[in-house]
Amino acid sequence: MRVSVLLSPAATDPVPRGSDAVIIDVLRATTTLTTALLHGARAVLPVATPERAFALRARHPRALLCGEREGRRIEGFDLGNSPAEYGFEVVGGRTLVFASTNGSLALLRAAHARRRLLAAFVNASAVARALAGAECVVMLCAGKLGRFCLEDAACAGWLCRRLETDGARLEGPGARFARTLAPADAAGVHALVQGAMQGRYLRSLGPEFAADVELCGRLDSVDRAFAL
């Protein structure tokens, strides 16, 4: 297995067609979508803009519009980007049209991958297991507005360390740098997510957002990996 890491969607390296792409947006898109699929969501349709989301729902009238700008639910949308919103009773059997600020763009960037695995700290071990047998793995960190995000790179690093232990070969400076950021254990994951810039920003928005940060910092609380 060959593993590389793109530290933000602004990286110039392409996601190779046919590769296994791992999309990482710890705070909060891949944590939220993992929760949604765990709770029975039928499908996820990522889009770049709210306008595209409204247009797409014209073709999928029962779909839920989901996403955020600056962390807050988009006006006219059914759901924001909080994992707590995506319970069984809300998303079970429903298609989600998803337009987050960063995670959606990362998903679209990897549209030609063989599969797109949703990865976050909450399901990191399950993602590592799901990659068994893959030949070419590209981890794409969603970042923040095209820029580097510590929590995404650290999650990629945690996966790199785990996969390397299982015999994977890390390729390129992105993977080697991410590997140095990997938290050592669950306590390290929690501290990193709480202290990251995006974690601090979300906590400043109020207690519901602080609860999201707490949830996103729980290592391996979900024992499943989902692919789009």
213 has a pLDDT exceeding 90: yes
Give first-to-last CA distance, the chain, whole Å.
21
**pTM, rounded to two decimals:** 0.96
Tell me the domains of the chain and their CATH numbers: 2-227 (3.90.1560.10)
Tell me the pLDDT tens digit for each residue of 94-142. Answer: 999 999 999 999 999 999 999 999 999 999 999 999 999 999 999 999 9
Residue type, 217: G
pLDDT of 169 strictly over 90: yes
Residue owning tokens 């993992």: 34
Compute φ and ψ for 200, nearest 5 degrees. -65, -40
Query: Higher model confidence: residue 151 or residue 12?
Result: 151
Distance CA 95, CA 85 (A): 15
Q: Identify the pLDDT of residue 12.
A: 62
Distance of alpha carbon 55 from alpha carbon 49, whole angstroms: 10
Q: Which two three-digit tokens encode residue 16?
A: 């190779």
